[in-house]
A and B are shown apart, each in its own frame.
Chain A
Amino acid sequence: MIDDRTKRNLVREFKQSPAAWVGVAAFLTVVIAAIFAPFVATQSPNVQNLPASQTSPTWAYPMGTDNLGRDIFSRVVYGARVSLVVGILAVMTSAIIGVVLGIVAGYKGGWLDDVIMRASDTMLTVPGLMVAITIFGVIGPLQVSLPDPWVMFGLVSDRPEVVQLPGTIIIALGITGWVRFARISRGEALSVRNEDYVSSAVSIGAGSIHVMKKHILPNSLTPIMILATIRVANAILSESSLAFLGFSGASVSWGLDIAYGREYLVTAWWVPLFPGLAIVTAIVGINLLGDVARDALDPNLSEGNAR
């Protein structure tokens, strides 16, 4: 998928803009924390150690402890897991549904286009967060727990074997997300459809499946990729907001810890501070990577001499 021209653009991108490096650094820290959580975390996130409750950040507890003496650093590291998984899963589901519907609606047009566009108009009238909260009200937290591979293979001990994920949030974000993808890919399909290379393929006798696969989709990918990065960032924001409001099934989550830390805002300011910083780091990383992807994938951003 990555052709050599995109590689050249990527190299140029990283050579020139420091922002690209910051983006990669931020994103990688979050990804590594998420994948190797048991190793990175100094102790299990749920272990309570009452005598050490509310200690300010020291070497033993780099981010201090909450009132039950739980190590904030470990909780933040495990929180990365929930946020990333939710972000990626939600965006993947909404991307697949949205892009397929959008491309077909944009290229085929006709009644399918009208139906999809009317449905997406209606979905957009209510903000995603409210829809998510309503769905939560209807079907409850729907906890999903996945076994932690590291612990399962016994590579590490006294860490939680199970990762609890907020099922409802993933579904809700998936449902509200597809609309954005549908609109973007429909717009792209509409504009690509008028290009001469598409009408040339049609005039050679290509079927619509062939045209959509070979011409419409590849040339609509750039804006979809950029939207994907924005939606991942947005999903993480929504997940933490919902957790903050109490609508999340996960046991460890950045939003939850911030809500939890609210009472101790004055006495132990570090409890709500660090999870928030973690969220900002993750989203800044993703947004910067989105900018890099946009420049790298742009087909006409190449070295043609000054015409």
Chain B
Amino acid sequence: MLMNDNTNAIEIDQLSTTYFTEEGDVNAVDGVSFAVPRGEVFGIVGESGSGKSVTVRSIMDLIQPPGEITGGSIRLQTELKEKITSEYPNAISGDTVDLRKLPENVRQWVNGREISMIFQDPNRSFNKSFTVGHQIAEAVETNARTDLTNLSNKPLSDTIDSYGMFEFMLDSMPSKSYVSEESMERAIELLRKVGISDPKLRAEQYPHEFSGGMLQRAMIAQAIAGEPKVLIADEPTSALDVTIQTQILDLLDEMQRELNMSVILISHNLGVVARMCDKVGVMYAGEIVEKGNLTDIFENSVHPYTDGLINAIPSLEQTSERLDVIDGNVPNLIDMGSECRFIDRCPKAMEKCRTEPPTYSVDEEHKVSCYLADETQKSKEDNEIPMIKEFNKNKDGIKSDGGK
């Protein structure tokens, strides 16, 4: 849904990431597209190996070799468009900025300011040799040092590169520290905001002195230091107990509303997704196979994999005799053929599934890439070729749904 009215905080279009390993090219993410309007929560559900984590790390440009982003665009809504247009005109598409067209240092600068991310395992996401307060203050300091809202006349890349090896040497002198007094205050203020009791004392403590839940709160504090437009949460509560999970989900909800952020929530737990998300995308073997709002996915889902996923969860209320199960395992993502990737596990596999199913629109928001959609509702088929779609959008920005 690449709506022209700038309600979308972030639009991902045909994103592809491949890992060039010795055994072959693993296309972990293959043509993923979705958009998240401002202030909404978009959930990505999928099992391990589905590529959900690789997708969000590609958005944040955190993919290390042998992985590489091989295609697609990541368009972000940002007020700094004028600043960027003047220096990188080709990065502008419509009123959003395509991050993949920005140079490496500017792309790195966007992290923490426009988009920030929280991870699954809080203990491994903090450096054990520095206090929690100091690490949060670092995030505050980085934003403060290159704060462009006052749109200083210096070109963008100069302000970004103002911090190099020499400055680091200076800052690591005991007298002078990268983190200023104000940043430390702001960090303590952030700790209080995320509900950590006597934050001044806690800021001086090290990560191993925090409980799992407390440390996750600290990570959220660190993520909102730069008041980002988009917050990505990669399995934020999977490592926590149920009672702590609810606390953290409530906190995420509160922060999201307060800063009017768009959130991309990654989870393998369908309950968490149901609780938090406005729209959901189901990922399987590197593709989004179905996407829509909660009722689309949980009640009238079309794709057999989504059905299988939902029915495989034992329910709390009644005790069914047997769970109905998807047999087989996740396919090996090396040199995938062109057929539907779920074909050998799909109970309703048909002959035409040999060729890649197009994306059908069951309704405005509910998209599914499976021929069954064609069979059941004869919905509007939509298989414009991506190139033409790109051309249409730039020409007159007419509304054109597309993308799997």
Contacts and interface: CB of A to CB of B under 8 A. Distances in A.
B364 interface: no
A305 B22 contact: no
A16 B22 contact: yes
A306 B19 contact: yes
Contacts, number: 19
B332 interface: yes
Nearest to A307: B49
Nearest to B286: A306
Nearest to B48: A307
A305 B26 contact: yes
Contacts of B48: 307
Contacts of A307: 48-49
A167 to B, nearest CB: 48
Nearest to B331: A305
A225 B49 CA distance: 34
Interface string B59-70: 000000000000
A12 B49 CA distance: 25
A16 B23 CA distance: 13
Interface residues of B, number: 12
Nearest to A12: B22
Nearest to A16: B22
B373 to A, nearest CB: 29
Interface in B10-29: 19, 21-23, 26, 28
Interface string A291-307: 00000000000010111
Contacts of A303: 22-23
A16 B19 CA distance: 18
A20 to B, nearest CB: 15
B17 to A, nearest CB: 10
B22 A306 contact: no
A50 to B, nearest CB: 60
Contacts of A16: 22
B234 to A, nearest CB: 15
A263 B28 CA distance: 66
B309 interface: no
Contacts of B332: 305
Nearest to B332: A305
Interface in B365-399: none
A303 B19 CA distance: 13
B106 interface: no
Contacts of B54: 306
Between A12, A305, A306, A307, the greatest number of chain B beta carbons within 10 A of the residue's beta carbon is seen for: A306
Contacts of B28: 306
A12 B22 CA distance: 9
Nearest to A302: B23
B333 interface: yes
Interface string B327-338: 000001110000
A307 B329 CA distance: 12
B106 to A, nearest CB: 29
B302 to A, nearest CB: 28
A303 B332 CA distance: 11
Interface in A271-307: 303, 305-307
A305 B54 CA distance: 14
Nearest to B21: A306
Contacts of B21: 306
A305 B49 CA distance: 9
A306 B19 CA distance: 8
Interface string B8-52: 000000000001011100101000000000000000000011000
Contacts of A12: 22
Nearest to A303: B23
A290 B159 CA distance: 48
Given A12-B22, A306-B21, A306-B28, 9 more contacts: A16-B22, A303-B22, A303-B23, A305-B23, A305-B333, A305-B334, A306-B333, A307-B48, A307-B49
19 contacts: A12-B22, A16-B22, A303-B22, A303-B23, A305-B23, A305-B26, A305-B49, A305-B332, A305-B333, A305-B334, A306-B19, A306-B21, A306-B26, A306-B28, A306-B49, A306-B54, A306-B333, A307-B48, A307-B49
Interface of A: 12, 16, 303, 305-307
